[in-house]
Amino acid sequence: MLPLPKDIEKELRKEAKLKMTHYSTRIEGNPLGLEEVSEAIMKNRDRQGLKAEQEVRNYWNALSFLSTSRRLKIPISEDFIKRLHSIIEVRGSGRRTEESEYRGPTRPGVLFAVYDSVTGQPEYIPPEANDVPQLMKSFVAWVNSDDARDLPAPIRAGIAAYQLLTIHPFYDGNGRTARALATYILSIEGYDLKGFNSMEEYYVSDLQGYYTKLQMNLPVLYYDGRNNPPDLAPWLEYFVLIMEKAFQKVARIAQNKYKQHIDPRVNKLEPRELIVVKLLLTKNGEITPKEIAGEFNVVTRTITEWAKEWIRKGIIEPASGTERIRTYKIGRAYSDLTLSDLGYVETDQ
User: Is 267 within any annotated ligand binding site?
Assistant: no
User: Is 161 within any annotated ligand binding site?
Assistant: no
Residue 234 CB neighbour total at 10 angstroms: 15
User: Is 175 within any annotated ligand binding site?
Assistant: yes
| Residue 85 known to be catalytic | no
> Could you give the strand order of the β-sheet that contains 327-330, starting from the edge strand earlier in sequence?
286-287, 327-330, 316-320
User: Is 206 within any annotated ligand binding site?
Assistant: no
Quick one: which of 66, 257, 97 has its CA closest to 179?
66
CA 32, 98, 174 angle in degrees (round to 5)? 45
Q: Which residues contact 218 (CB under 8 A, 6 or more apart)?
A: 224, 225, 226, 229
User: Is 288 within any annotated ligand binding site?
Assistant: no
- Among residues 22, 85, 168, 261, the one annotated as catalytic is 168
User: Is 49 within any annotated ligand binding site?
Assistant: no
Q: How far apart are CA 157 and CA 190, in angstroms?
A: 12
User: Is 179 within any annotated ligand binding site?
Assistant: yes
User: Is 172 within any annotated ligand binding site?
Assistant: yes
Q: Supply the residues annotated as catalytic.
A: 168
Residue stretches of the annotated binding site: 172-179
Q: Binding site membership for ATP: which residues?
A: 172-179
